[in-house]
Structure 1
C-alpha cells in the first residue's frame, strides 16, 4: 500500500564579502520588496533558505536535521545547528527525500557522524550565527569559525569557505539521507567515491527513500589541492592509506588541509541523475573560480523572474510575503535534464530530449494543479509550456499512466487521483501548444480500463466505474477518491474533446458527476457509502473515517466538513444538492463558523483552521470563493481578505501548513492580485478581494496586466464595482483569455458589501455552463 505523504512521516567578514555586489532590482523599486527566504522554514512550512535558480536542478542549502516530518526539506529554523550543506532539496513537501552530497567544512578532530540535534557537540554539527539568504545566495558563520557562502548555477553548486587560521578539513558525507527514524536500516546501495587524476572527486549512489531507487551522480572540483584525502567505507571503516576511492553503501571522504585558513577554499559540484559524465558536463556552467560572477548571474536570473509581478500598497510585511510567495512559486518543478539533453524517464530509461525541451521532477500534482500551474500559465507561460510538454512525455513513458507525483524518474504514486490531467487540460484550454494527442492513449487507458497497471493513487477504479462511487468498506479514502476521480474525468473529457474523441468526452463528462453519489443531501455532507448502498451511521463530519485504523480513513487529509466542498467543476450541481442558493450559502457559513475541533487521529496537515475550513492544506482551498456562485460574493471578499492577512506572515512560521511545492504560496499570489481559479480547466478566475493598491503583472508577449484597487485598505475589503480597460465590468469573474491580452483591471473597494456580482447572469460559469 502506497501511503499518503503524511503517513510517511551577518558577521563583519561575511558582510564585506557581500557588500561589493550590486543590489537587485527588487530592492531598488518602490513597488517591490525583497523576498524573505526564511518564510516557511519554521512551523510546518517545510521550505529551505539555501541557494537555487528558478526551477533549477541544484538547491544548495544547509541541513539542520534529517529525521521526522518537519525535516522534510532538511532544514528547520528551530534546530539551531547545521550538519552541513547538501545539493538537492524539496520545497514545502510533506515527505522527505534528496539531501544529496553533504559538504561539511570543519576544524579540529575529524568527526564522521553528525550527532543529534539535542547535542551538537557529539558530532560534526555546528551551531551558527549571522545567517543570511537571498535569491541565489546564502551565507552563515559556523561556530567553528568557518564563514560559509553558497551560490548556484542550474546544475552546479558553488561553495566558498573562509577558514580560521590553521588546519581544517572538508567532509563529504555520501551516507547523508532523509530518515523517518534515527535507527532505520540502510537505504543506500551501489555507492562509490573516487579521486580522478585531475583532482576531481566523483561519486554515485542509489537511494531508496520516497523515490525508491533513484540515482545521483556528482563531480566535485576544489580551488585548492588538499594535503591528504581519507576515504571511509561502510561502518566508517578507513580505506587503506593512499586509496584513490571506495565502494559500498555508506561512504565518506575527508579532504584535509594543513593550512586551511591561508586562503578561501572554493568548491563546485555538478550533479546528474544519468551518470558521472553528466555531472562533469554540468561543471561547464561554472568556469574558473568566479563565485561572485555566479552569484551575480543567479541574482539577475531571480530579479528577472520576480520583477514579473510588482505590487504597491498594503504593509511592508505584506509586500515581503508577496515577494516570498512568488519566490517559492518559482523553485519547482525542478530541472531533471543534463546539459546534453538526456533525462531519465518514468520508464527508467534514458531519453534524449528534443532541442530546447526540458524534463523536470517534483510535480506535486495533487497540490499544484489548483493554483501553482494556473499562476504559471499567467505569469510564466513559456515555462508552463515546457512543463506541459514534459508531462505529456512522462505520461507516454510511464508504466503507470498519467503522472501522480513523479520524483527523480520514479512515480511515487503519492496522494490520490491523476491530477496531471487537470494541468494538461487547463493548458490546452488556455492555448498552450503541445501534442496533447500523444498523451491520450495512456490517459484513455487510465480512464476506461480499471485493470490497467497503476498505483495506489488510482485504487478503486473498478468500483468507481461500475457503481458510480467507491465503497468505504472496500477501499480506503473512498469519499475523496470518488470526488477527485470525478474532477479528473472532467479534465480528461476536455482533452478528449480537444483531440476529437467526442464519444469518450461525452462518457467522461457524464461520469464526472459521480461525486454526487457520495454526498448525502439528507444531512448535507460528503458521507462514506458502503458497497450495499447504505451510508455510514452514526455519522460525524468531524471524524476522518468509519474505522479506527488510519488506513481506513474515508477522506484524504480531510474530514467530512472539508470534503463536502471538494467539488470544483460542477458548482451549480453541488448547490442543487443543498436545495439552492440559500441552503448552500448557509452550509458555507457553517463551514467557516463551526468549532475547530478535530479527532485525535487527524494528520498534522489539517491546520490553519477557520471554523472547519482548513487553509493549511489543499482540499478546500477554493471554498472561500464558492460564495460567488450562490449570490453572496461579499462573503468571498471578506473571507479571502481575512485569510490573506491572518494565515500568512513574514516570519519563519508564516505559513499555515506545508507550502507543498508552491501551492500555498500561489494561493496567496493569485488571491492578493484579486482572483482565483476555482476550476482551473474552465480557465475562469473568480474575483475575490485584492490586497494591494496596485499590481503590475507581465503576462507574456510583452503584455502587461495592471490591477488597481481604489479606496482599498484594511477596513475596505468589499468590491463595489469593477472596470476592465476603462469599461464597466459587471461579471464577478474574468477569463484567462481576457487577462493575457493585457490591460487594466480596476476594482473600486469599500467598507460595506455591495450588489456587485450578485445577479445570476454575473456569477461564474461552471460545468461549462452559465448559472441556471
Structure 2
C-alpha cells in the first residue's frame, strides 16, 4: 500500500511557509450581477496546507486550467501556493486538495523576447521562462482566472469547458512574442524523471498535438492533447532534451519535448489558445476541443462557464448576515464540485483501468479522481443529496473500474491508474451508500460481485488475517489497526447490498464480521491497541504514537486516540466497550481536552488539532457527533459549532488540512445545514448545530429540502427541539428517506443547552441495524 506518508517521504517534500504575502488577501471583484458566485473565493485553500488550485474549470470537468507556481513539494500538490511570487505557466490538469501530487499536464507559458526553454528556479525567475506576478493582479472567479505576467507585460486569461481549455494572452508590441509548450513539465514528486515517454507533432500550421505517459503518482498514466492557436506563428522551434531539433515531419518522440511558437504582435494584440485533452488519443482531444469550443470566442466560453457555476452553486441557498460564513460555505460548495472529474471523450470513449479503450452507452459518463478513503464519509453523501443525476455514473464507473482493473476494487483511482493510496476499499462504501438510499440506475448485481470478491476472496493487504483471525496482527501487516477498522466498515457497507439482493446469510455474516474492530479493545488502557499474531497487545504503548515500532505504523494517519473513536456504524457497541454512556462521554471529553502532542514522525496530514482530535484529517470527522449516540447531543452541538468557527475561515490558509477532493468542504456544508452522516451507508443523519438562519437545498429531482432555524441570536447554538416534515421530534436523527423527495426541517434553538433533548435511550440514532 502507498500511504500519503510514504508518498511524501519519496518526494522528500517540504511544506510551504504558512506566512503569505499581505496582498494575497486582495478581494476578487464581485460578479456583475448579484448571484451566489460573489461569495465564492477560489483563494481559500491555496495557502496553508489546503492544496487547492485557483484556476478555471467547470463543475466536475476534466480540464482544470490553472497557474503553476511550483511542481514539487507537498504544499504544491495542486501546482500553486499563495506564498509564491512567480508563475511557471498554465497547465490543463490539477488535483484539488489531495495529499499527493500528480498531473499538471501540457504547460503553456507566454512571453516576449528570446524564449528560455526551462522554467528557472523560484529564487531567480529570470533564469527561465517564469514570470513574476502580483496577487493584486489576479482575478479568480468560478470558470475564469487572469493575471499579469509582469516580466513580459502580458495579460493571461483562462477559461474552460468540460474537456477543453481556452487561453487569451494580450501582448505588447513585439517582434518576438512567444508561447512555450513544455511536455516535460508536470508534478515531479522526487528526483526521478516522471515522463516515461512523450510525442509531439504539428499537424497544421496553427496546431500542435501529442501526449505523454507519466509516473508521478499514477504510474503509467496516459494523457493526450490537441492545441490550436488563433494566429499562425511566424516560427516554431522544437526541442528534445532541451536541444533544438529540426521541425518533425512526423511525431517527435522522447522524454523531454518542448516547442516555442513565435509571433509578431502589435500593442494589446490578443492571441488565443484552445486545448482539448483526452485519455484516449490526440485525435480524440482534437474532436473534444472542436466540439466544445468551435469558435474563437473566449468571452462566450467564460460566460458559459459562469452560467454552469451559477446553476451549480445555486443548488443550495442559505440566509445569513454573516458574510464570512457565506464565503466559507459557498466556496466549500465550489470545492465539493471539483471532483470526481470527468474522464471520457465527447464520443463516449475512455481509457479503462486495464489501459484499454472502452466505449460508454449513450448518455453515460466515466469519472476519475475518487479520493474514496476521504470522500465516502461526507462528500459522496452530499452528492447523493444534490447530484442525483451524477451519482449513478459515479457508482457505475467504480464498478467498471473493479471489473477492468488488475487491482480489483478501486482504492484511489487516477486517470486509468490505481495509486493504491490509503486503507480499505471504500469504493464499496460509496456504491453501497447510493444503493441503500435507493438511487436508481446502478448495476447492483455487478456491484455485489466485485465487492464480495474483495471481501471474501482477494489476498489483499491483510484481508486473509482479517477473515481468519478477525483482526490483523501488527507484526505481520503495516497499519493493521486502521485496516481492520476500514474492513469492518466495508463489510458493513456490503451487508446493505446483501440485504437489498435478498442474500440474508451473507448479510448476517458481514454484519457479524463488521464487529471485528472490538478485537483491539484494551479495557485496561481504554484504547484500541495493536495486537500481535499471538494475540497479545503490543508493548510499550503510548496512545499518541502511530505505531509500536519505527518499521511501520499501526494506524493510518492517526493514533490510538483518534482510532479508538473511529467506529461509524456501531457507536452503541463502542459505548458498551467503555462500560456505558458516562465513561464513554468522559473519554470523549478527554479526547478534545488532552494535550495535542504528536510524535516527531507524525505526518503533516494530522492537522487542525483540538486536543487529540484532528479535524484536518478524515478519521476524526464523525467523532464530534458521537455524543449524540451517548445521549448528550448538546455536547455535539457546542463542539461542532466551535469547529465550524475555528477550522475554516475565508482566507487562503482558511482550511485546517487538505481539502481532499471535497471532504473537508462537505463536512462544513452538511454541518452548517445542521446534520451529518456519521454512518453514511445507513442513510441516517445525526443532528448537529445549524449555522444559518435558513437554507433551501435543491435535491435535483424536483424536490427541495427546506431548513428553518428559529433563534433570537445567531450565536445560539443549542437545539431545543426540531420538527421533521411538520411533525415534532424527540429524537436527534432522521433518515435519508424522510427528505429524499423533499422535506422540511425546523430547528428551535437556544442560548443554553437543553440537556434533556435527545437524552433518552429510545431516541438515539440506531447502531448496527441493516
TM-score (norm 2): 0.95
1:173–1:252 CA contact under 8 A, matched in 2: yes
Structure-1 residue corresponding to 2:312: 305
Deviations 1:695-719 (A, max 9, x none): 1111122211111111164531100
Structure-2 residue corresponding to 1:758: 759
State the alpha-carbon separation in 1 of the partners of residues 34 and 187 from structure 2.
34
Structure-2 residue corresponding to 1:502: 504
Alignment CA distance shift 1:492-1:725 (3 Å): closer
The alpha-carbon deviation at position 353 of structure 1 amounts to 0.6
State the alpha-carbon separation in 1 of the partners of residues 4 and 77 from structure 2.
14
State the alpha-carbon separation in 2 of the partners of residues 305 and 214 from structure 1.
30
State the alpha-carbon separation in 2 of the partners of residues 532 and 242 from structure 1.
65
State the alpha-carbon separation in 2 of the partners of residues 759 and 629 from structure 1.
10
Within a 5 Å distance, the mapping from 1:81-160 to structure 2 comes to 81-129=86-134, 130-143=137-150, 144-160=152-168
Structure-1 residue corresponding to 2:202: 195
The alpha-carbon deviation at position 501 of structure 1 amounts to 2.6
The alpha-carbon deviation at position 439 of structure 1 amounts to 2.1
State the alpha-carbon separation in 1 of the partners of residues 587 and 684 from structure 2.
24
State the alpha-carbon separation in 1 of the partners of residues 394 and 741 from structure 2.
22
Structure-2 residue corresponding to 1:582: 582
Structure-1 residue corresponding to 2:349: 342
1:168–1:260 CA contact under 8 A, matched in 2: no
- Which structure 1 residue ranges, 5 or more long, are not aligned? 10-17, 28-32, 452-457
RMSD across aligned positions (CA): 1.6
The alpha-carbon deviation at position 66 of structure 1 amounts to 0.5
Structure-1 residue corresponding to 2:388: 381
SS of the residue corresponding to residue 83 of structure 2 reads: helix
Deviations 1:11-32 (A, max 9, x none): xxxxxxx9999536325xxxxx
Within a 5 Å distance, the mapping from 1:339-738 to structure 2 comes to 339-433=346-440, 434-451=442-459, 458-549=460-551, 552-711=552-711, 713=713, 715-738=715-738
The answer to whether structure 1 residue 68 and structure 2 residue 73 are counterparts is yes
1:156–1:268 CA contact under 8 A, matched in 2: yes
State the alpha-carbon separation in 1 of the partners of residues 545 and 661 from structure 2.
28
SS of the residue corresponding to residue 636 of structure 1 reads: helix
Deviations 1:125-148 (A, max 9, x none): 111121011111111111121101
Structure 1 range deviating more: 310-319 or 639-648: 310-319
Question: 29, 38, 45: which is aligned to 1:40?
Answer: 45
SS of the residue corresponding to residue 382 of structure 1 reads: coil
The alpha-carbon deviation at position 261 of structure 1 amounts to 4.1
State the alpha-carbon separation in 2 of the partners of residues 597 and 426 from structure 1.
35
The alpha-carbon deviation at position 568 of structure 1 amounts to 0.5
The alpha-carbon deviation at position 41 of structure 1 amounts to 0.3
State the alpha-carbon separation in 1 of the partners of residues 232 and 380 from structure 2.
46
Deviations 1:441-494 (A, max 9, x none): 22211111243xxxxxx4111111111100111111011011111110111111
Corresponding pairs, count: 745
Structure-1 residue corresponding to 2:769: 768
2:53–2:78 CA contact under 8 A, matched in 1: yes
Deviations 1:520-546 (A, max 9, x none): 122110111100111112211011111
1:675–1:686 CA contact under 8 A, matched in 2: yes
Question: 176, 189, 193: which is aligned to 1:180?
Answer: 189
Within a 5 Å distance, the mapping from 1:189-228 to structure 2 comes to 189-197=196-204, 199-228=206-235
Question: 268, 285, 289: which is aligned to 2:292?
Answer: 285
2:470–2:516 CA contact under 8 A, matched in 1: yes
State the alpha-carbon separation in 1 of the partners of residues 34 and 124 from structure 2.
39
Within a 5 Å distance, the mapping from 1:4-23 to structure 2 comes to 4=4, 7-8=7-8, 9=11, 23=33
State the alpha-carbon separation in 2 of the partners of residues 117 and 588 from structure 1.
46
Structure 1 range deviating more: 38-47 or 387-396: 387-396
1:24–1:299 CA contact under 8 A, matched in 2: no
State the alpha-carbon separation in 2 of the partners of residues 450 and 402 from structure 1.
10
State the alpha-carbon separation in 1 of the partners of residues 595 and 733 from structure 2.
31
State the alpha-carbon separation in 1 of the partners of residues 407 and 497 from structure 2.
19
Alignment CA distance shift 1:379-1:21 (3 Å): closer
TM-score (norm 1): 0.94
State the alpha-carbon separation in 1 of the partners of residues 639 and 184 from structure 2.
47
Structure-1 residue corresponding to 2:21: none
The alpha-carbon deviation at position 7 of structure 1 amounts to 3.5
Structure 1 range deviating more: 576-585 or 694-703: 694-703
Alignment CA distance shift 1:662-1:758 (3 Å): same
State the alpha-carbon separation in 1 of the partners of residues 44 and 6 from structure 2.
21
1:36–1:134 CA contact under 8 A, matched in 2: yes
2:433–2:682 CA contact under 8 A, matched in 1: yes
SS of the residue corresponding to residue 274 of structure 1 reads: coil
The answer to whether structure 1 residue 271 and structure 2 residue 281 are counterparts is no
State the alpha-carbon separation in 2 of the partners of residues 318 and 21 from structure 1.
19
Alignment CA distance shift 1:518-1:314 (3 Å): farther
2:194–2:215 CA contact under 8 A, matched in 1: yes
SS of the residue corresponding to residue 36 of structure 1 reads: coil
